[in-house]
Structure 1
Amino acid sequence: MAHERTRDVVLTYRYLRGAMIGLLLMLLLSVGYQWWWETGHSCWLGSISAYYYTPARGIFVGALCALGANLIAYKGHSAEEDVLLNFSGLMAFVVALVPTEPDGRCGPNAYTQTAPEIAAAVRNNIWSLLVVAVLAAGVVAWLQRPGRAAARARRTVRSVVVSIACGAVVLGELVLFLALRDRFIALSHGIAAATMVAGVIAVMVLSALRVDERHQGRADGRGSVYKRIYITLAVALAVALGTAVLTAVSVAGLDHLVLVSEVIIIALFGTYWGVQTKELWDLRDAHGPEARAAGPTAE
């Protein structure tokens, strides 16, 4: 019975990781389909977010919300990774629910909305997200209260610093939403998108730093290989993110560079997630069916 429970946990974990790769691929395919079939492969919008106003809207919102939920559900390998994954997941919801400005490059948008209609949608969606986030935080705090087994993760200086940094971004977004609604609609999408990716980059670096710990006792040298891959992907992702942010805020006439950077960001994250899935899959198999109940891959 214990072995069956372990198997269920590991399979659920693996399917969760696989689903996240599928969501990223679905988002890219939806945007590619819109470009190829709907515009006759003659016109690209300036960013992936701009496809919110096209027939790709359903996939854009649905994929990002599902990705956000999966990031929150996924448990990191350390307290700080867990904070960053939760933060990036929450920001993914904001990216999905607060649209960017319409892009008129490819003619009239399929889903034209007035400013009041967008504001009404943002109010509805963000209030719903806010209430659920507060309830979820309350449940987590109750489960991790002193004396319960769930409160097992010892806080470190690094996890406290990460929590403060992520909390400052969330607090800033909350202040904008409650006090400066117009500025929230104008700014929050970009802030959420950039910080969501920044959180993922931090997770990649932290994962690379813990590779040796995960591969302790193995002499095949794979740990060093995975560490180099993760650091390389994190650096490339940081460059792509910096390019997208700088282009969006300061460079005129090169707006498609934002779209290209976003596609690269999605591809790099998908690559990292796939490589890490392979790493953790191998670790689980190496420990065999008698590994501890959750196994290394389910922690």
Structure 2
Amino acid sequence: MRLRSTSTQRTYRYVRLSLVGVIAFLAVSLTVEIVTGGPLASVSAAFYTPARDVLVGSLCAVALALLVLSGRSVEQMLLDVAALLAPVIAFVPTPVAPADIAAGCAGGSSCVPEQFLPGIANSLISLGIVAVVGIATVSIVALARGTFDRAMIVSVAAAGVVVAALGGWWMLSPSTFLLGAHNAAAVVFFTLIALVAALAAGQPAGSDSRRTRLRVAYGVIAAGIALALALVIGVVVAGAEPAVPLFFIGEAAALLLFAVFWVVQTIEFWNDVDPRARVAAEPSAA
């Protein structure tokens, strides 16, 4: 049983560290693109550059890692919902101004260029089908194991609402979906991460100085993500492109803090194993 616990422990460590590695991978790709192709108005704008493959792949990897870390706490439920939103951020690009795309946009307004629409449709249909099948599978397994408790119901319900809301929006108003889904999903995604960090910061530390330092770190991360989101939303509301790429700075800061959050999580839970494995080991040790 010790081997089982050790294996689980190492798996959780590597998954958390992989989230940091994925963000580092994306950061390198963005840096290469900026050096070779010029400044980016936003991280999301990398979709229209040679960095697109790394951007989309990285966000899909983030979604998978968050699902692997799935649990039954409030924090894990929030991360499950964030995992559903990450592929939407990847597959639905941010709209561009007509001047930014040679083909232009109908009516001279911002849009997602037509050449990308078939790929977006294919990706969203695939994501929707897999999400529905995944939610159903998780529910059936939980029912069979007798673990379909209130926490599981809330988690499954939250995932179902997100899938239904996004699917309904896309089917009922595809034009507004293409214009707003990327930014909406990104804002909600980072809001959820900030909430998870805030919840971690609010956990009692007692007289443990190490836990106190970790709680402070979580608080700084939550506040930092909130400020980054405020900056991004402010740029969008202002409707003007400042000389300084504030949108890019805000997105980059949020991504950096996302990576820092997982560094802190890795430090805090370095020696933790899956509680279910620990419980299963106890009878044998007795």
Shorter-normalised TM range = 0.7 to 0.9
1:80 maps to: 74
Post-superposition offset of 1:8: 0.9
Q: Does 1:90 align with 2:87?
A: no
Structure 2, unpaired ranges of 5+: 104-110
2:261 maps to: 272
Contact preservation (8 Å) 2:66, 2:83: yes
1:155 maps to: 151
Post-superposition offset of 1:203: 1.1
Structure 1, unpaired ranges of 5+: none
Contact preservation (8 Å) 1:10, 1:294: no
Point out the structure with the larger helix share: 2
2:118 maps to: 120
Between 91-100 and 200-209, the greater mean CA deviation after superposition:
200-209
Return the match for 2:241 from 246, 253, 278: 253
Post-superposition offset of 1:207: 2.0
Contact preservation (8 Å) 2:16, 2:265: no
**Matched positions, count:** 271
Contact preservation (8 Å) 2:235, 2:241: no
TM-score norm. by structure 2 comes to 0.84
Distance 1:139 1:55 in 2: 37
1:5-50 Cα shifts (integer Å, max 9, x gaps) = 11111111111111110000111110111111x13xxx31210110
2:108 maps to: none
Query: Among the aligned pairs, what percent are the same residue?
Result: 28
Contact preservation (8 Å) 1:45, 1:106: no
SS in 2 for 1:44: coil
Alignment of 1:123-138 (within 5 A): 123-138=121-136
2:184 maps to: 191
SS in 2 for 1:26: helix
TM-score norm. by structure 1 comes to 0.81
Return structure 1 stretches of 4+ with deviation > 6 angstroms: 103-109, 162-166
Q: Does 1:237 align with 2:225?
A: yes
SS in 2 for 1:9: helix
The change in CA–CA distance for 1:265 and 1:104 in structure 2 (over 3 A counts) is: farther
Post-superposition offset of 1:276: 1.7
Contact preservation (8 Å) 2:45, 2:94: yes
Distance 1:231 1:129 in 2: 33
Look up the equivalent residue of 2:5 and give its one-letter code: T
